[in-house]
Amino acid sequence: MNNFKVFLNGLIKENPTFVLLLGMCPTLGTTSSAINGLGMGLATTFVLICSNMVISLIKNLIPDKVRIPSFIVVIAAFVTILQMCMEAYLPALYDSLGLFIPLIVVNCIVLGRAESFAAKNGVIPSFFDGLGMGLGFSFALTLLGAVRELLGTGKIFDIALYSEDFGMLIFVLAPGAFIVLGFLIAIVGKIRGNS
């Protein structure tokens, strides 16, 4: 299997957010700003890469009856490591993302890739699958957060592009997440030729 093709699959063909519509809870809940979207995306990417690699290494040691619980334990271990590191070194981002960090354990993107890819492939392809899916998710969350932040506050990554007085508060709030996500999914669908 071509590792580059596996990598591109998560970025374009099977983007978790814009194509597969997976992980909607963190997508809508954490993207009030570009930095939150990027932080959540990179956190999920770390867990995806590490859990995919470990699961592909131990897949033959796990009995079928406890396959899913075993995957969850592996994923939870990496989420715990991530949570401790973020709390120690990135406390502002950790506080901003809050409950969504531990919820990576049950994120359908992470568990889905463990089940559908890592459990059936080797370590190197599983690494590239995790990297591609994670970066695709990170791109989607960062883009969604940037659009919402720009329309809502006039900033991107806290850099003011126009006065906050002209921002539309709805885009920073929950309804804005649905509106922007809907438009972005439509644009991506049109670009991919799914009119």
Q: Return per-residue pLDDT of the chain as tens, 195 residues.
A: 588 888 888 888 899 999 999 989 899 999 999 999 999 999 999 999 999 999 999 999 999 999 999 999 999 999 999 999 999 999 999 999 989 999 999 899 999 999 999 999 999 999 999 999 999 999 999 999 999 999 999 999 989 999 888 989 999 999 999 999 999 999 999 988 865
CA–CA gap between residue 190 and residue 186 (Å, rounded) = 6
pTM: 0.93
Residue entry with tokens 């670009």: 191
Residue entry with tokens 């080797």: 122
Q: Is 26 exposed, middle or buried (0-12, 13-18, 19+ CB in 10 A)?
A: buried
For 83-117, b/e burial (b = at least 16 CB within 10 A) is beebeeeeeebbebbeebbebbbebebbbebbeeb
